[in-house]
Chains A and B, each alone.
Chain A
């Protein structure tokens, strides 16, 4: 693979509180603001608490999930009296950190999230880009890719020229665990260090990464009234990223029957994420793919 030269990263935005009850990001952003973390070498750093109303209320969102408000359609929809708070907030954030798709957008946007699922530390990104993969390679994580074109991309990190979410679990909503805080802080420190090395002209070698690419989601079995009739089976609970094969138990009904998975071998993740009950998702399924990335260095402009 040819060495690729890539435009420099001048600025980074680190965001927390996009879901107001996912506390790691809230407290990391506050601590960075308290420490006046505004620069990492030549890279300028902006920190933003993105959904302050939801944070104050201790809720995921007040009217609508902020992290679904960044599609092109919602970002350009006219604001009226009945526009939900989160749609307005998304447009404000787009003005501050974007506009999405333009030359003014922040070079890299990192959005911090927690999950109740046992996923450990993950980076979630839309498109395979060399910067993201190189960063991923230097931080001990799993990578998750969502294959969605930019215009339809609905979450905050799509506003930056490059972006990814850091998703860490398991942590209950409304709880701040020190071990998880420390892991995320370390991941951010490594990311900022990488960016500084990159900006100072260092060359990075080619490599390969394994990433999990979203295939489909599975809902709970429900009765005619729409109520879930089963709970995640104990063999699947807490076993995110452990290969699921046909015949493996996935649900246990309240009357004790075991329901089994049928389909191709895939990797479950976001198993029993609290916020996904209302989105009718019990878990997601992914394929695992290997991506190669070329050696890169910064293009001198």
Chain B
């Protein structure tokens, strides 16, 4: 099939995809998440490290104004801005800065949903949460992406690289990478906003190298046999308890803080009020929390998200 999408997800058949010729690496979608900003700036000066034969790889700073001010965003969160409504909005200079940027990025790397869109976009992020190396997927049905996840996890082992799947109809959001046919989020933490840590920087660099190696091998004609990938599927957003004025009245409990990906059982401590009382998790079954105490999510009413573990099957893939 010539439009790059999977022709067949049946495990018995090999899914064919077009070679991925155009790849972008986004940094600075949030201007204070420093690993991506630094890596993309380095590669824009000297791209030797990211070059692969037969592949056009474009490093790109998506939100330069936010990067310059070292803030997450200037008017509105760029990584929520790629809605159809925003992408087709009129108003030019009157539009919020990030909506203008989204339209520009959609012109350069999309249009989103079309045959001309970039094949793959890697969007580099950091989090204040103790998530380690996390790859973020938006679809459970993209065999190309699932095979990439499998490849990266194996190449990175014994170090851990987990996969978060956000396919939730209400909680998924319109990311800058969603412009591409195969969007891949890379989230590494913990790292404070505005800070560059060498261990986090190096980890992201290595994961990206494996991702580019995968694409390169795929383009050369390698067949990847059927595989399974363990993912954490987003279930629910949990907010802080708040008072009538919307102020938070408790903090993530010390027992939950930094425990991303560990089981949270009904009855386990979840929040601690300022005067020392414990609030317990009231769910009906064990969940796996992540994005625990991410700084940027206080304003988005999120203390953490819950996930459940799932194993996804991916068919074999080969270049068309």
Q: Are B38 and A254 in contact (CB under 8 A)?
A: yes
Distance of A188 from chain B, by nearest CB (Å) = 13
Interface segment, one of A44-52, A104-112, A140-148, A170-178: A170-178
Is B201 located at the chain interface by the 8 A CB criterion?
yes
Distance of B315 from chain A, by nearest CB (Å) = 40
Is B272 located at the chain interface by the 8 A CB criterion?
yes
Supposing A231-B198, A254-B38, A272-B197 touch, asked if A178 and B192 sit within 8 A by C-beta, the answer is no
**Cα of A237 to Cα of B201 in the assembled complex, Å:** 13
Q: Are A178 and B254 in contact (CB under 8 A)?
A: yes
Q: Using Cβ atoms and an 8 Å threshold, which residues of chain A touch B320?
A: none
Interface segment, one of B143-151, B168-176, B290-298, B304-312: B290-298
Kindly count the residue-residue contacts between A and B in the assembled complex, taking CB atoms under 8 Å apart.
79
Q: Using Cβ atoms and an 8 Å threshold, which residues of chain B touch A234?
A: 198-199
Is B57 located at the chain interface by the 8 A CB criterion?
no
Is A233 located at the chain interface by the 8 A CB criterion?
yes
Q: What's the dominant secondary structure at chain A's contact region?
A: loop
Say which residue of B252, B275, B295, B299 sits within 8 Å of A178 (CB atoms): B252
**Cα of A277 to Cα of B254 in the assembled complex, Å:** 30
Q: Are B251 and A178 in contact (CB under 8 A)?
A: yes
From 127 to 186 in chain B, residues with beta carbon under 8 angstroms from any chain A beta carbon are: 128
Listed A/B pairs (8) with beta-carbon separation below 8 Å: A173-B193, A174-B295, A175-B192, A176-B251, A177-B251, A233-B198, A234-B198, A254-B38
**Cα of A172 to Cα of B34 in the assembled complex, Å:** 13
**Cα of A181 to Cα of B42 in the assembled complex, Å:** 38
Q: Are B254 and A179 in contact (CB under 8 A)?
A: yes
From 249 to 275 in chain A, residues with beta carbon under 8 angstroms from any chain B beta carbon are: 252, 254, 272, 274-275
**Cα of A175 to Cα of B272 in the assembled complex, Å:** 15
Q: Using Cβ atoms and an 8 Å threshold, which residues of chain B touch A171?
A: 192
Q: Using Cβ atoms and an 8 Å threshold, which residues of chain A touch B247?
A: 30
Is B80 located at the chain interface by the 8 A CB criterion?
no
Supposing A31-B274, A170-B192 touch, asked if A178 and B253 sit within 8 A by C-beta, the answer is yes
**Cα of A173 to Cα of B126 in the assembled complex, Å:** 14
Q: Are B293 and A175 in contact (CB under 8 A)?
A: yes
Distance of A60 from chain B, by nearest CB (Å) = 9
Q: Using Cβ atoms and an 8 Å threshold, which residues of chain A touch B196?
A: 231, 272
Say which residue of B252, B257, B295 sits within 8 Å of A172 (CB atoms): B295
Q: What's the dominant secondary structure at chain B's contact region?
A: loop
Q: By CB atoms of chain B within 10 A, which of A170, A178, A231, A254 has the most?
A: A178
Q: Are B198 and A173 in contact (CB under 8 A)?
A: no
Kindly state the interface size class of chain A when it binds its partner.
20 to 34
Supposing A181-B274, A274-B192 touch, asked if A175 and B128 sit within 8 A by C-beta, the answer is yes
Q: Are A175 and B295 in contact (CB under 8 A)?
A: yes
Supposing A170-B192, A274-B192 touch, asked if A231 and B295 sit within 8 A by C-beta, the answer is no
Extra contacts besides A31-B275, A178-B272 (8): CB < 8 Å: A30-B274, A171-B192, A172-B128, A172-B190, A173-B194, A179-B254, A272-B197, A274-B193
Is B195 located at the chain interface by the 8 A CB criterion?
yes
Q: Using Cβ atoms and an 8 Å threshold, which residues of chain A touch B191?
A: 172
A-B pairs, top 6 by smallest CB distance, nearest first, are A172-B192, A174-B295, A178-B251, A274-B194, A31-B274, A172-B128
Q: Are B198 and A252 in contact (CB under 8 A)?
A: yes
Q: Using Cβ atoms and an 8 Å threshold, which residues of chain B touch A277?
A: 194
Q: Using Cβ atoms and an 8 Å threshold, which residues of chain B touch A35?
A: 275
Q: Are B193 and A172 in contact (CB under 8 A)?
A: yes
Say which residue of B190, B197, B275 sits within 8 Å of A231 (CB atoms): B197
Distance of A119 from chain B, by nearest CB (Å) = 13
Q: By CB atoms of chain B within 10 A, which of A31, A252, A254 has the most?
A: A254
Distance of B297 from chain A, by nearest CB (Å) = 10
Q: Are B198 and A181 in contact (CB under 8 A)?
A: no
Q: Using Cβ atoms and an 8 Å threshold, which residues of chain B touch A272?
A: 195-197
Is A116 located at the chain interface by the 8 A CB criterion?
yes
Q: Using Cβ atoms and an 8 Å threshold, which residues of chain A touch B194?
A: 116, 173, 274-275, 277
Q: Are A237 and B197 in contact (CB under 8 A)?
A: yes
* Residue ID in chain A nearest B251 by CB atoms: A178
* Residue ID in chain A nearest B202 by CB atoms: A234
Distance of A207 from chain B, by nearest CB (Å) = 31
Supposing A177-B257, A178-B254 touch, asked if A237 and B296 sit within 8 A by C-beta, the answer is no
Is A77 located at the chain interface by the 8 A CB criterion?
no
Is A27 located at the chain interface by the 8 A CB criterion?
yes
Q: Using Cβ atoms and an 8 Å threshold, which residues of chain A touch B296?
A: 174
Distance of B77 from chain A, by nearest CB (Å) = 13
Distance of A125 from chain B, by nearest CB (Å) = 26
Is A296 located at the chain interface by the 8 A CB criterion?
no
Q: By CB atoms of chain A within 10 A, which of B196, B252, B274 has the most?
A: B274
